[in-house]
A = this chain, B = another copy of it.
Amino acid sequence: MNKNFDEPLCVQCNQDFKTIFHKLTPEQLEYLNNVKSCTVVKKGRILYEEGNRISGIFCINKGILKVYKTGVEGKEQIIKFAKPGEVIGYRSVINGEPACTSVKILEDAVLCHINSQDLYHLLKENAEFGIELLQIACKELGEANNYITDIAQKSVRERLAEILLHLKDEFGINEEGLINISLTREELANIIGTATESVIRLLSEFKTEGLIELQGRKIKLIDLNKIKKISNVF
C-alpha cells in the first residue's frame, strides 16, 4: 500500500460522484475525511477474499473493481463491478459477517477505507445517511432479483446481449465507440454464467451478424436495436 499520493478529499469526491455520503452535514463530511484512510491499489491485486473478516467499507475514488463469488469447483461468478463513487463491503459490515464475496482490482484504484465503528457512528448520528445506504442496498437487491430471473429463464445468447447493453450503460463508451471496460472472455462468461467457449462463439456470431465490432477485449455495439431485441429487455 502506497501513501505517497494526494489523498482525495471527501468533499471533492462527493461532488464528483454523488456518493452515499451526500446527505452528511459538512461537519460529518469533515469527520469522515479525517477518519478515512486512503490507499492506491494496483491492477490485479486482490483486495479481500470470500470468508475474510473485513474491518470496514471501501469507498472507490478511482479504478474499477470486480466483485465475485467462488462457486462450485472454484468457478468464479461475477456479482457486480464497482466504480468511483460506489462503496463495497457494507453488506458484511452491516451484518457482522465475513465477506461473502472476493474483490479484485481490474484497473488501478484509489480506495478510501472507513472503519466499521466510524461508519456506525455516522449511521447513528444521521438517520438520513442510513436511509441513503438502505436505498443503495435496495437498489442492489432489485438488480439481483432481476438477474436471478434472467439467469433462470433466458438463454446464453439473450444474456450476453443484455450484459453488453449493461456494460455500455454502466461504463460508457470512448471516442471510438468502444465500451470503457476490458474484460477477458472468461470474465464475460463468469458474469452471465456460461462457458468461455460459448461466449467466444456468440461474440463472433454477433460480429458476423453485424451487431458488434471487436478490438481485442474492447467491444463496440453497432446495432443497438437488434441487440436489445435479442436481449429481451423492455
Contact = CB atoms under 8 A, between A and B. Distances in A.
Interface of A: 69, 71-72, 75, 77, 79, 90-91, 94-95, 97, 100-101, 120, 123-128, 130-131, 133-135, 137-142, 144-154, 158, 192-193, 232
Contact of A142 (B95, B133, B147): B95
Given A75-B153, A95-B142, A133-B134, 17 more contacts: A71-B149, A71-B152, A71-B153, A71-B154, A72-B232, A77-B152, A95-B138, A100-B145, A124-B127, A125-B127, A127-B130, A130-B134, A140-B141, A148-B148, A148-B151, A151-B151, A153-B193
A158 B133 CA distance: 35
A149 B145 CA distance: 12
Contact of A95 (B133, B135, B193): B135
Contacts of A100: 142, 145-146
A131 B131 contact: no
Given A130-B127, A130-B134, A133-B134, A144 B154 contact: no
Given A124-B128, A193-B152, A90 B138 contact: yes
Per DSSP, chain A at the interface is helix
Kindly name the residue among A133, A141, A153 whose own CB sees the greatest number of chain B CB atoms within 10 A. A141
A100 B138 CA distance: 11
Contacts of A75: 153
Nearest to A190: B152
Given A128-B124, A131-B130, A91 B151 contact: no
Contacts of A77: 148-149, 152-153
A123 B127 contact: yes
A59 B160 CA distance: 38
Nearest to A97: B142
B147 A148 contact: yes
Report the 9 A-B pairs with minimum CB-CB distance, sorted nearest first.
A152-B193, A144-B144, A130-B130, A137-B137, A77-B149, A71-B153, A127-B127, A71-B149, A91-B138
23 contacts: A69-B145, A69-B146, A69-B148, A71-B150, A71-B154, A72-B154, A77-B148, A91-B141, A95-B138, A95-B139, A123-B127, A123-B130, A130-B134, A134-B137, A137-B138, A140-B141, A141-B141, A144-B144, A144-B145, A148-B193, A151-B152, A152-B193, A153-B193
